[in-house]
Amino acid sequence: MSDWSEHYATRVSNMQASEIRELLKLLDQPDIISFAGGIPDPALFPHQAIAAAYQRILGDPERSAVALQYSISEGYLPLREWLAGYMGRLGVACTPENILITNGSQQALDFIGKLFLSPGDTALVAWPTYLGALQAFNSYEPRFDVLPGPDTNRSLESYTAGGMAKPKFGYVMPEFQNPTGTSLSLAERERLLDTAAEFDLPLAEDSAYEKLRYDGERVPSLLALAAARAGGIDHCKVLYCGTFSKSIVPALRIGWIVAAKPVIQKLVLMKQASDLHVSTLNQMVMYEVASALIEDLADTMRQVYRERRDAMVAALDRYMPEGVSFTRPEGGMFVWVTLPEGIDGAALLKRCIEVGRVAFVPGAAFFADRSCRNTMRMSFSLIPPAKIEEGIKRLAAVLKQMISETAV
């Protein structure tokens, strides 16, 4: 094999295989109960509505010619128009010119890194945060530091000490955060916006799980709150990332960014240079399916996932040994578990796969500095309640064994 290392850009040294990716391969072994995924249940996909939409569009010669041809980088206009209305119902007054269609929200995160980060710039993220965001931003060679949050109070000076430039943006998932499942209250959101205003810090708001609320009251998005403060979306510095991956299906790869028009104009150029546009046909299908069904689908999903969340929390309550704590999320797909000090999530996983035939994601992967090894992310979205209980029971047994050995 040739040696490629000297040919690569410096960013390539940041690109490492991810634990989640390797773990996803475990899903194929039928006797393993995997809480690793964090993917939606395909039984809830609107298969027939999607098939019917493809058939309608491809069966109409005029629409089919449009659907299969190159199209504009901004995204399919009727979909952006519908999204503008949808965002309006969420308290964000905007127009299609405030919206870019992306290949899922992962591409939105990549674009946000590409827009803001030169090598050595500082990006602020939660500690822990979404692994995919760390991967996306890492391509642009940033330093990571801790975004001020409910438990962190930081002055601007604390970031710029030693001659560092001020942070370029903050990334936050205010609802049912991946990996912890926790949400920011209204007061916490207002405080974050205060901090962002003080720092003149753009915020990237990732709302991937927004439709999956099982309890409690909806809280306005950071974008809605910031636009209200600034007198309109074009005057505020929040970029909102939405996706149909969790509310309809992932595999059409459709997400969107909502932001001030000048930002969207730059992102449209970025989209054009990156891959021209999202599949025209898939955008047309998603427009038809989302505009007709999104609320009904969300109702069904909430019902199914709520039961699974309940089952997971109940099983953790029932089986987990003393010294283990976990979140009780109001929505989303994840529970975050903190193990006793000294128990390594990765070591536990290895043992769980070998002995218990149960899997999860060790928490260290979600920290920019890989700290906090005694944590784990558990997804309940894909597993029926009875199997959730069985999986947690197995996991707890392995954990208890490990704790007893560690104590010795």
Please count the other Cβ atoms lying within 10 Å of the Cβ belonging to residue 6: 5
Q: Cβ distance 360 to 36 under 8 Å?
A: yes
In terms of DSSP H, where are the helices of 242-377?
Answer: 261-275, 280-319, 345-351
Which residues from 201-240 bind its own copies, rule CB under 8 A?
202, 230, 234-237
Sign of CA dihedral 163, 165, 166, 170: negative
CA distance linking residue 46 with residue 264, whole number of Å = 31
Q: Which of 54, 81, 191, 293 binds its own copies (CB under 8 A)?
A: 54
Closer Cβ to its own copies, 137 or 336, answer by number:
137
Phi first, then psi, for residue 389 (nearest 5°) are -60, -45
Q: Which of 47, 350, 370, 387 binds its own copies (CB under 8 A)?
A: 47
Q: Which of 86, 116, 214, 336 binds its own copies (CB under 8 A)?
A: 116
Please report which helix (H) or strand (E) contains residue 334, including its range. strand 334-338
Q: Which of 93, 187, 273, 355 binds its own copies (CB under 8 A)?
A: 273
The answer to whether residue 43 forms part of the interface with its own copies (CB under 8 A) is yes
The answer to whether residue 341 forms part of the interface with its own copies (CB under 8 A) is no
Write down the least CB distance from residue 255 to its own copies, Å: 9
The answer to whether residue 68 forms part of the interface with its own copies (CB under 8 A) is yes
Stretch that binds its own copies, among 263-271, 318-326, 328-336, 390-398 (CB under 8 A): 263-271
Closer Cβ to its own copies, 279 or 374, answer by number:
279
Find where tokens 């299969």 sit. 68
Write down the least CB distance from residue 245 to its own copies, Å: 8
CA distance linking residue 236 with residue 224, whole number of Å = 10
Write down the least CB distance from residue 324 to its own copies, Å: 29
Write down the least CB distance from residue 172 to its own copies, Å: 16
Q: Would you call the peptide bond into 128 cis, given omega within 30 degrees of 0 as the criterion?
A: yes
The answer to whether residue 97 forms part of the interface with its own copies (CB under 8 A) is no
Write down the least CB distance from residue 17 to its own copies, Å: 6
Sheet with 325-326, strands from edge to edge, namely: 325-326, 334-338, 375-379, 361-362
Which residues from 300-329 bind its own copies, rule CB under 8 A?
none
CA distance linking residue 174 with residue 219, whole number of Å = 9
Write down the least CB distance from residue 58 to its own copies, Å: 4
Closer Cβ to its own copies, 260 or 364, answer by number:
260
Write down the least CB distance from residue 278 to its own copies, Å: 7
Q: Cβ distance 10 to 336 under 8 Å?
A: no
Total of residues contacting its own copies (CB under 8 A): 89
Q: Would you call the peptide bond into 119 cis, given omega within 30 degrees of 0 as the criterion?
A: no
Q: Which residues pair with 379 in a beta bridge?
A: 334
221 token code pair:
């998005």
CA distance linking residue 365 with residue 355, whole number of Å = 23
Q: Which of 22, 29, 51, 370 binds its own copies (CB under 8 A)?
A: 51
Q: Which of 19, 35, 36, 71 binds its own copies (CB under 8 A)?
A: 71
Closer Cβ to its own copies, 284 or 339, answer by number:
284
The single-letter code of the amino acid at 335 is V
Write down the least CB distance from residue 6 to its own copies, Å: 8
